[in-house]
């Protein structure tokens, strides 16, 4: 089955700087790549996603990049704020099945 | 607009007990997923239903974990017998169709097995 590797597992950045999380996948049939944010005590919620017909997508301060050839995708959060502190999960989906990465704990330092 | 509901929110069980977790998906969603969340393993898929049919039974979890979807608006996850290593948060999620659409997660059930 699909395997998704997510790095780093822990990330600390200064408020106002950028944060980047990287994921890689194995199954070339994967065509949908969502990102979920989970705040402490809350359930994961979709924040941005990208499909295989795109290479880049931006929603406000969130940017996702997809490199299908390298089977890698990444999330970049620009101008980080304290509210960005949370767990982030990437995922890869194809043929209806979805596989999640292990998660990145992002902490924004004031 | 009701999201995914899960009960109970917390469960404490003795080793060897049987526990049943419950989930109600978003109305109109065809697909339902059960996940186990731990700090080490992250989100692990336990079961996946499409229109009440079991599509994925989570391989390594087969022996003591059994998910059922009795109707389109209700699912259960039975763990029998429980072991201390089953202590985790169990999340239920639903989507319109499969993994290629947004998954709506429930609040989870935190299970502690003593």
Of B42, B99, B108, the CB nearest to A89: B42
User: Cα distance from A67 to chain B (closest Cα, Å)?
Assistant: 18
Q: In the structure encoding, which two tokens stand for residue B1, read together? A: 């607009």
How many Cα atoms occupy the beta-carbon half-sphere of B106 within 13 Å? 28
Q: How would you classify the pairing of strands A97-100 and A86-94?
A: antiparallel
Q: In the structure encoding, which two tokens stand for residue A61, read together? A: 């301060």
Closest alpha carbon within chain B to A98: B99
Q: Would you state the pLDDT for residue B83?
A: 96
Q: In the structure encoding, which two tokens stand for residue B69, read together? A: 């979807």
SS3 at position A49: strand
Q: Where are the beta strands (DSSP E) in B1-114?
A: 5-7, 10-13, 19-24, 31-38, 42-50, 53-56, 65-71, 74-79, 88-95, 104-105, 109-113
pLDDT exceeds cutoff 90 at A98: no
Q: Would you state the pLDDT for residue A23?
A: 98
Please give the full DSSP string across B50-66, using - where no structure is assigned. ETTEEEE--GGGTTTEE
Q: Are A31 and B41 within 8 A, CB to CB?
A: no
Q: Are A97 and B43 within 8 A, CB to CB?
A: no
Q: Would you state the pLDDT for residue A1?
A: 76
Tell me the pLDDT of chain A averaged across its residues.
Answer: 94
**Taking CB atoms and an 8 Å cutoff, what residues of chain B touch A91?**
99
Of A32, A43, A45, the CB nearest to B100: A32
Q: Are B99 and A31 within 8 A, CB to CB?
A: no
At residue A103's C-alpha, the angle toward residues A64 and B59, to 5°, is: 115
- Residues A31, A73: Cα–Cα separation, whole Å: 11
pLDDT exceeds cutoff 80 at A16: yes
**Taking CB atoms and an 8 Å cutoff, what residues of chain A touch B5?**
none
Closest alpha carbon within chain A to B9: A41
3-state secondary structure labels for all residues of A50-106: EECCCCEEEECCEEEEEECCCCEEEEEECCCCHHHCEEEEEEEEECCEEEECCCEEE
- Residues A79, A74: Cα–Cα separation, whole Å: 16
- Give chain A's contact residues with B (Cβ, < 8 Å): 6, 31-32, 34, 36, 42-46, 49, 89, 91, 93-94, 96-103
SS3 at position B84: helix
Cβ pairs A/B, distance under 8 A: 58
Q: What are the pLDDT digits (tens) for A19-69? A: 999 999 999 999 999 999 999 889 999 999 999 999 999 999 999 999 999
């Amino acid at each position: 089955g699909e395997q998704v590797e997510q790095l780093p597992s822990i990330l600390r950045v200064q408020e106002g700087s950028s944060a980047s999380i990287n994921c890689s996948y194995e199954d070339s049939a994967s065509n949908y790549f969502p990102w979920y944010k989970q705040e402490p005590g809350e359930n994961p919620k979709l924040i941005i996603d990208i499909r295989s017909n795109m290479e880049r997508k931006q929603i406000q301060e969130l940017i996702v990049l997809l490199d299908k050839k390298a089977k890698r995708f990444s999330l970049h959060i620009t101008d980080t704020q304290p509210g960005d502190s949370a767990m982030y999960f990437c995922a890869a989906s194809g043929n209806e099945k979805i596989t999640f990465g292990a998660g990145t704990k992002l902490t924004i330092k004031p | 607009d009701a999201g995914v509901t899960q009960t109970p929110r917390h469960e404490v069980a003795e080793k060897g007990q049987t526990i049943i977790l419950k989930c109600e998906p978003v109305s109109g969603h065809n697909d339902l997923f059960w996940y186990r969340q731990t700090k080490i393993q992250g989100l692990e898929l336990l079961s996946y239903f499409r229109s009440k049919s079991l599509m994925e039974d989570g391989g390594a979890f087969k022996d003591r974990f059994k998910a059922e979807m009795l109707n389109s608006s209700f699912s259960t996850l039975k763990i029998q017998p429980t072991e201390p290593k089953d202590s985790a948060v169990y999340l239920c999620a639903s989507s319109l169709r499969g993994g290629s659409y947004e998954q709506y997660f429930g609040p989870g059930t935190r299970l502690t097995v003593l």
